[in-house]
Amino acid sequence: MAIDPLKERLDYYGLADVRQGVLTGVGRALKRRLDEALDGFYRVIASRRELSAHFDSPQQMDRAKAMQAEHWLAVFRDGVDQRFYDRATRIGNVHARIGLEPKWYVGAYGLVLDELITAIIAPGWRGMLPWRRAQARQVATLVKIALLDIDLALSGYFHNSEERVRLLVSDKLGTALAQVSGGDLTARIDGFPTEYEQVQHNFNAALGTLSETLGRVMAGMGSMSAGATEIRSAADDLSRRTEEQAANLEETASAIASINASVQESASTSAGARSTINATTTRATEGTQIVSEAVGAMQQIESSSQEITSIIAVIESISFQTNLLALNAGVEAARAGEAGKGFAVVANEVRALAQRCAEAADEVKALISASSVQVNRGVDLVGRSGDAFAAITRDIAALSGAIQTLADSAAMQAENLSQINTVVGELDRSTQQNAAMAEECTAAATSLTREAGLLDSALAQFDVGARGLHAGAPIDLRLGRAA
């Protein structure tokens, strides 16, 4: 059966059967002198720094005084009941929370009771009686000495109790901390007194959280080491590939520079060829013009030959008629006989001359005919030469256009190759920078692997127990890779 702490105390103090009239009488005396007694008490508090420090302001001190007065008046008005017990317990808890030692609280009762005892034993005019005042002082002194004795006894009790508690807490906490310093995170403390249960709970909870966290870290160290190894391998591969790419880009840049020089040379050659073809075109045009003039001259020769042929025909006609006239003259000279002999000689000479003219005309005609044939053939050849020159001129013009297009294309290719060469140079610089960064990544990954090994060795010194190792999912520190 549970013991009622209030009833136990009332029985022990002999207050279980106290009459209400007694309480009421004391209450009346309190009303008369309580305010004055509390004023004196709080003046003492205000004069002592170790006590006044518990109050933030005079107003707070006034509120505390009013609550203290109500607490005392209520017990003599309503009796020593559960409400009184609860109020007193709350007051004790407040004193413990703010650090007010019992000696000050017990001493306060001595100061207040001095006034209240006088109010009860020597009230009003009775206070003028010497023996009443002496009696009041005696009772007040007795009460103060009793309270002082209680104060000293409680101080000794609490000091001894606190020392035992301190030693107990220090021993258990020291043992647990020694285990923790040795790497055993499974250490726990128990058996702390009630007032230290929160410390015990917080310590055990902190170690549990630390053990769980380190367990997850230890479980994740394998992933971290594997991730660091993968990073180092990837960085090595990246560095190697970057170096190969840099070498390839350097070769590409050299090849492009060579091609660019060749294209530039081709463009220069095309420009020279274009100038030569332009000069050839000019000469071909001049040749065509000369051929045209030669054709005209041959046509004039042909026309002159035709005119000469006509003249020869006239000469032939004259020669024929002269021959006829000479023949007629010879006939007439024969008829004349001796008289016409001289005339006959002349006629014969004329006829012979006419025959020679006819023969010469035939020869000239034959020559003219042959010359006409040659002239016609020359005209035909010159015409064909003119056509050939015209075709050559057209072909040269087409070739000049093609070479111009080739030269323009070569110039454009040279410009494009120059731009490509610039881009390749920039890529080469970027690749060199990437190679340097890859080397830095490799060094960082190597350092990370080394640090992971050191951390793993350091964590291996801690015993986190099976609970810590499986308290949560391990931390995955590896690089994410596409599926």
Give the span between the Cα atoms of 305 and 298, in whole angstroms.
10
* Domain architecture of the chain: domains with CATH: 5-167 (1.10.490.10), 211-323+363-460 (1.10.287.950)
Q: What is the mean pLDDT of the chain?
A: 73
Question: For residue 226, what pLDDT is reported?
Answer: 74
468 in Cβ contact with 211 (< 8 Å): yes
pLDDT of residue 221: 66
Regions in the chain scoring below 70 on pLDDT: 1-3, 12-13, 15, 95-96, 98-100, 105, 115-116, 119-133, 135-170, 172-173, 176-177, 179-183, 185, 192-193, 195-196, 218-219, 221-222, 224, 343, 455-456, 458-483
pLDDT at 173: 65
Q: Are 100 and 54 in contact (CB under 8 A)?
A: yes
pLDDT of residue 137: 63
What pLDDT score was predicted for residue 458? 65
Question: What integer pLDDT is reported at residue 18 of this predicted model?
Answer: 75
pLDDT value at residue 476: 42
Over the Cα atoms of the chain, what is R_g? 73
What does the pLDDT read at residue 105? 67
Q: pLDDT value at position 467?
A: 44
For residue range 32-79, what is the model confidence (pLDDT) as tens digits?
A: 777 777 787 778 778 888 778 877 888 888 888 788 888 878 887 888
pTM of the full structure: 0.35
Given this model, what pLDDT does residue 480 score? 39
Q: What is the pLDDT of residue 464?
A: 62
pLDDT tens per residue across span 293-348: 777 777 787 777 777 778 878 887 887 788 777 778 777 777 777 777 776 777 77
